[in-house]
Chains A and B, each alone.
Chain A
Amino acid sequence: MIRTCQELQALQNSLLNQRDPNKQYVRVCVGTGCRARGSLDVLETFKEEIRKQSLEIKVESKQTGCHGFCERGPVVVIGPKEIFYQQVKATDVNEIVSKTLLNGEFVDRLLYQDSTTGQKVQHEHEVPFYKMQTRRILANNGRIDPTNILDYIAVGGYQALAKAISNMSQEEIINAVEKSGLRGLGGGGFPTGRKWRTCREASGDIKFVIGNGDEGDPGAFSDRSLMEANPHSILEGMIIGAYAIGANQGFLYVRAEYPLALKHLQIAIDQAKEYGFLGKNILNYGFDFDIKIVRGGGAFVCGESSALVASIEGRMGEPRAKYIHTVERGLWNKPTNLNNVKTWACIPLIVNNGADWYAKTGTGKSKGTAVFSLVGKVNNTGLIEVPMGTPLKQIIYDVGGGVPEGKKIKAVQTGGPSGGCIPEELLDLPVDFDKLTEAGSMMGSGGMIVMDENTCMVDVARYFLDFLQYESCGKCVPCREGIKRMLEILTGITEGRGRGEDLGLLQELAEMIKDFSLCGLGQTSPNTVLSTLRYFGEEYQAHVKEKRCPAGVCRSLIEYTILEDKCTGCGACLKLCPQQAIQGEQKKLHVIDPTKCIRCGICRDSCPFIAITVR
């Protein structure tokens, strides 16, 4: 139990004294991505091998959260030199122990190879994926064991809380957050300091703070990674915020699809209670605060503040009209301050380093860093953090390593279903809240999806509408009915039933939904349609007028054919075709019967000679 700020300082000092900076360590990423590829086995094997060889005193092995480079998982870092091994299997462990830990040699085949120079990279910070990033929110992600509060305290954890509660008035904390220019990282980009002030000034004795970890955007996993890897940073931010606002109870609303995040957050809350950072009379300053986890029910709309509040109250997650904001009347009609978990994690950084330090990075009205999950048709899928204002091109090529198979990039989608598609011509766009909005997209909760020439933008728009019509809560007519009608029109277009007047009708419907939907999610729902109509009009025209899908995606508009000069008659496709639509004798040209073909594409996947094409 830590009772005072002095005790916290003493604990950190003693932890640092105990730790030998030259001691060897093995850090194994056990985030969802690496775990799915067997990193728990790798960690267990390391522990066993270290025990067998009696190296426990010399080497410390531990689990860490997501390092971000999920594409290359499981990721293992060997310290103190931070040697970076990728795609490690349990069978590699023996060699790593004998070569690297005992003899200081590298295991060459596990090192990352720079795709442009062909050179092997030995250390984590030299890998281009990391080199181009500015990691603040994610800084400790791969360094600490998320299930051990002492690890967090050793890297300076809860010092910001100590500083805020002992040295700063509530007014000073809110001033600092305002001055830092921090804006909501959940998507909306509302100035955090202003939100806090409104909530603090709202009348009422009982107030609440909420951490939003209901990351519903498909293709975004930054909140998950942070909750899994550094849960205490979120808690610390919430405690400071609650102190400044005057709340004594907090809630963390987390997606049920994130079991590991839920587990790590619960462990963190229990430990924070045990150490006295949560509970009664925190650090002896007379401030009481507690946090409860609420498991989401799997509804996208619950990312919206008033729907989330309804869900915590045990009701259907339907948003309400916001004549009165949740900061004034939210949970159980009490003033409630809701921020995304990444926003909360920025607070300790601002308190520790000062508002000026935070505001030094970024652009005019978007300060600090932006976290994205870089996914889709990109070489280095993973979690990244870059200064606000970094051009899209730099993110995709320098951090993301470009598009696989040398294909051409077509568009970048940000902001999930609320965002839009930015075409290749605009890749020099600096990424910040306002620039993305100007381009017809938005920051959203941090998904950045790269699309290549084989992506059909009409189909992408249809995909997001399909998602949205399923997730629409159904309370207001524009969203419930409007999205459905737009989806019908788009489905028609992708199935070759497009009519000349459809595009105008889509535009009209989209603008109606934008203007008249009840909540933010409804109002932003037509963004993908609007942005694709704006930038990819030709592709729509090809579908409607020529009944042609230039990207070769829309099934009703394409045909699979076998290339005469490439087919060897091996019969691989013939065996796998579920429709028996392929005919041909062995070692002779095979032919696809278009009347039987359902365009499932299994033949193309199976062809070892790339002899099957789409027209």
Chain B
Amino acid sequence: MTAFYAWIGGLAQRGLLPSDFQYPFLVRGFLCVLIIAPVLGGVSHLVVTRRMAFFSAALGQAAITGVALGLLLGEPLNAPYAGMFGFCLLSTLAMVYVKRHATLPPDTLIGVFHALTLGLGLCLLVALTRQFNVHQVESVLFGSLLTVTDADLLLLLAVGIFVAVMLVREYNALLLDSLSPPLARVSGAEPAYLEYFFALLLTLSIVVSLKIIGALLVEALVVVPAAAARNVARGTRSYLIWSVAIAFVAGAGGLGVSTRFLVPTGGAVVLAVSAMFFLTLMARSTSRRRGTV
């Protein structure tokens, strides 16, 4: 990877790429955005279609707790993966299981998990800040380019490819199940399997993106790109394309703002994607007034 960064840096020095690309950490950050955009933008349109926005928020909170658990168990601050993945996957399985077997409305149940994991995470974080610098812990909450390593990048790429391959396999069944679980069942799909399957893929996508975006804000990148895309898409294909494109533009734009103004990456990315939502909303309103929608 050192040779690769040196080559990119050379292109930047010659003016063929923006001058910021002389710095390996920025190149890593941009590569992360290139991977995160199709992964999160891609799952985003299914998250919104399957009404899992609140579920995603609860997963983000669970990731905080997972990081805290990992650190308390002795994992390194810049790679508490066992804690993150382990706790988040367990939380996902528990949430889906309870949702499928309880009689309370799904948002109420997820609210319970949301509160539980947040309370547990906050208590553990207080314990952690006695052992670590609080700014190091902030990077977990809000994301930080500076903490992303080559190993993180490769992990993101591997998980991104895995999630994409799995989604391609079950996409049509997932979409039909979102529209009508009875029709999905009649066509041979198993709604319970699909629910667990997608929730676990979502968990992997969110956890692997945490370093860049942060646990508190990653949910926004799983929901807002699709919400914005809905304002302008005209079919499933354009829905996916717009979701990914909006996630990419917000990611790259947020990255630029973050490095220019020294604000947390996650915050900058979320502001950028929110701005795009309102832009697409205005575009839709304008089209409606002209009678073209």
Q: Do A and B bind each other?
A: no
Residues in chain B within 8 A of chain A (CB atoms): none
Residues in chain A within 8 A of chain B (CB atoms): none
